[in-house]
């Protein structure tokens, strides 16, 4: 595709959906792009507008909400309010799934983490928005259970990264494409066509401050990547931003792996399956990478609850396979 391709044009030309779903694809991704543009502006202006700091409430998984978490959730919901093809939204910041459209055209469900990495809001570090789109098997009254589909059922997934620039990355199962927001003209422009994740990488990304609580296999993996062995490129370098979206973006472009394992206090770790891990796992696999719970393919896990957590290792395929071997050996 030619240089200067906007997201809108790219969606019109998206081959895999052109036959039967081009209109749907545009209807689904335009609100994501709109929310991304508005959130990029809100994040830029937050300190000036008094929008940093805590909102005062807890969300459904017990995190203290930042003001920008609440604002981010409202922005995503507003952006999708006019989108008749989405029946409902499950969000990190909503206790229960919310009905968005009762139209017979409402054939999709949106899963979202509106603001990933929100502990970064007050220190000018990267943030993200994660989205995943599932198909709805029926019409009529929406039930929260309809969201409980394994990640391999996602028809579209991606993220917006608010970093040194704002980047939207998406997949519909035919490659992964990245668009950088030209803030001067308000358009996402194709800058990263067909992102391919290197098969291996020498960067690891984890909150190693918690390593004493990790299971033995994960601790041994950490020993392995921090051991010195020049021929195999060790020690690996540690890069950890506090925002999964930013850490995964680096892994996709440069190779490496992010992991957040369980510990005795939280056997399934911290990250949520439906709206954080599964959409990013879908992107990783589509880019030639991998995502695992440590004990199997993450996209095969059937959620039992909207806010369910899962351990995760995600990034370069060889790194993830090695991590699984360390976990299996213990």
Instruction: Cite the active site residues.
Output: 63, 69, 92-93, 113, 115-116, 276
Q: How many CB atoms are located within 10 Å of the residue 127 CB?
A: 29
30 binds, among ligand AHG, Mn ion, none (CB under 5 to 8 A by kind): none
Contact in structure between 251 and 316 (CB atoms under 8 Å): yes
* Residue 207 interface partner, choices Mn ion, ligand AHG, none, CB cut-off 5-8 Å depending on type: ligand AHG
Pairing label, strands 203-205, 257-260: parallel
Name which of 113, 92, 112, 115 is nearest 43 in CA terms: 115
Nearer CB in complex with Mn ion: 172/274? 274
Both tokens of 234, joined, read 């060790």
- Here's the x/- map for Mn ion, 247-286, by CB under 5 A: it reads as -----------------------------x----------
Residue 242 binds: one of Mn ion, ligand AHG, none (C-beta under 5 to 8 A by kind): ligand AHG
What is the full DSSP assignment across 129-167? EEEEEEE-S--SS--GGGG---GGG-SEEEEEEESSSEE
Among 10, 236, 270, 307, binds ligand AHG (CB under 6 A): 270
Q: Which does 14 bind (CB under 5 to 8 A by kind): Mn ion, ligand AHG, none?
A: none
Residue 178 found at the interface with ligand AHG (CB under 6 A) = no
Among 14, 24, 42, 116, the residue binding Mn ion under the rule CB under 5 A is: 116
* Helix pair 22-45, 67-81: axis angle to 10 deg: 150
Choose among 178, 176, 142, 183: nearest CA to 156: 176
Told to check if 249 binds ligand AHG by CB under 6 A, we report no
Residues in the chain: 330
Rg (CA), the chain: 19
Q: What's the CA angle centered on 161, arms 23 and 73, to 5 degrees?
A: 70
Q: Give the span between the Cα atoms of 282 and 149, in whole angstroms.
A: 13
Partner interacting with residue 235 (select from ligand AHG, Mn ion, none; CB below 5-8 Å by kind): none
Q: Contact region for ligand AHG (CB under 6 A) — 30-38, 76-84, 221-229, 239-247? A: 239-247
Residues that bind ligand AHG (CB under 6 A): 63, 92, 113, 116-119, 207, 242-244, 270-271
Residues that bind Mn ion (CB under 5 A): 92, 113, 115-116, 276
């Amino acid at each position: 595709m030619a240089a200067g391709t906007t997201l809108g044009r790219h969606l019109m030309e998206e081959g895999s959906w052109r036959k039967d779903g081009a209109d749907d694809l545009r209807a689904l991704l335009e609100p994501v792009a709109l929310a991304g543009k508005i959130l990029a502006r809100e994040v830029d202006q937050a300190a000036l507008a008094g929008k940093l700091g805590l909102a005062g409430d807890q969300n459904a998984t017990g995190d203290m909400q930042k003001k920008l978490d609440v604002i981010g959730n409202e922005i995503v919901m507003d952006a999708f309010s006019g989108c008749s093809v989405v029946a409902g939204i499950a969000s990190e910041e909503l206790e229960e799934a919310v009905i968005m459209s009762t139209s017979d055209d409402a054939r999709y469900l949106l899963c979202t983490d509106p603001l990933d990495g929100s502990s970064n809001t007050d220190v000018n570090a990267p943030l993200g928005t994660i989205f995943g789109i599932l198909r709805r098997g029926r019409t009529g009254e929406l039930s929260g259970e309809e969201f409980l589909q394994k990640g391999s059922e996602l028809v579209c997934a991606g993220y917006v990264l608010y970093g040194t620039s704002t980047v939207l990355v998406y997949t519909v199962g035919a490659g992964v494409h990245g668009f950088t927001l030209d803030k001067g003209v308000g358009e996402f422009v194709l800058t990263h066509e067909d992102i391919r994740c290197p098969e291996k990488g020498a960067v690891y990304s984890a909150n190693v401050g918690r390593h004493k609580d990790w299971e033995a296999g994960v601790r041994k993996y950490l020993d392995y990547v921090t051991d010195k062995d020049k021929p195999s490129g060790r020690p690996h370098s540690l890069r950890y931003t506090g925002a999964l979206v930013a850490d995964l973006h680096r892994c996709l472009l440069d190779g490496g792996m992010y992991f957040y394992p369980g510990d005795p206090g939280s056997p399934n770790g911290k990250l949520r399956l439906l709206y954080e891990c599964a959409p990013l796992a879908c992107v990783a696999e589509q880019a030639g990478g991998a995502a695992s719970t440590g004990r199997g393919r993450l996209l095969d896990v059937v959620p039992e609850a909207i806010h369910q957590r899962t351990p995760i290792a995600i990034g370069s395929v060889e790194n993830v396979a090695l991590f699984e071997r360390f976990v299996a050996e213990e």
